[in-house]
Amino acid sequence: MRVLVVEDHARLAASVARVLRREGMAVDVAPDGTAALERTAETDYDVVVLDRDLPGVHGDDVCRRLMREPVRTRVLMLTAAGAIADRVQGLTIGADDYLPKPFAYPELVARIRALGRRSQPAVPPVLVHGDLALDPARRVASRAGATLPLNPKELGVLECLLAARGRVVSAEELLERVWDSATDPFTTTVKATMNRLRAKLGEPPVIETVPRTGYRI
């Protein structure tokens, strides 16, 4: 899942990004509304975590702009104002969900995952292929009933492949969905992660390389 965190308080933004990355999400950070619009013009995000009270372009205006885009990004709006009227106003301008500050990180993660599921074609809560299973919410994968020791990036790659339901997924798509904008697009990290994932999945092989195209299960 690709997430943009738009927050002008640097320490809070860094903390949120760190938590979401631990959950296997690819996270970019924008410090203000102008940067958020620049980011969303370049990248299709599943979810934008949007602080309402931003300097420059206000969070409400960012949300309105996002609602006009052809690619429908889900918006979780954050604000220090917890009054019902503020929540209603945020939802009225197009936000999909609303979370007042301060918030608990487990709730933030749960809400982002729920919105992420709505931004994509419907998939089962547990992804299964033969004896291979992945529970995205619990971040647990197993094969033949045995839990697999996968790190967050390996889980992210496996989730993308299973959710594609046999469609070929390119290395570029995996790089965009599992990593973030700080990753060198010419890196071999996708190939290296794929090699480790295959080794951990064991035999018989379930991931096929399609020459000059990508990978599929």
Q: CA-CA distance, 70 to 169, in Å (whole number)?
A: 23
Strand partners, 140: 135
For residue range 26-61, what is the model confidence (pLDDT) as tens digits? 899 999 999 999 999 988 899 999 998 898 899 999
Q: CA-CA distance, 39 to 45, in Å (whole number)?
A: 9
Q: Is the peptide bond preceding residue 102 cis, with omega within 30 degrees of 0? A: yes
> pLDDT value at position 185?
59
> pLDDT value at position 130?
92
> pLDDT value at position 90?
58
> pLDDT value at position 124?
59
Q: CA-CA distance, 179 to 185, in Å (whole number)?
A: 10
- Tokens standing for residue 64: 């309105």
Q: CA-CA distance, 45 to 43, in Å (whole number)?
A: 6
Which domains are seen in the chain, by residue range?
2-119 (3.40.50.2300), 127-216 (1.10.10.10)
Amino acid letter, residue 30: A
> pLDDT value at position 150?
94
Beta strand pairing status for 132-135 and 127-129?
antiparallel
Low-confidence ranges of the chain (pLDDT < 50): none
Phi, psi of 162 (to 5 degrees): -65, -40
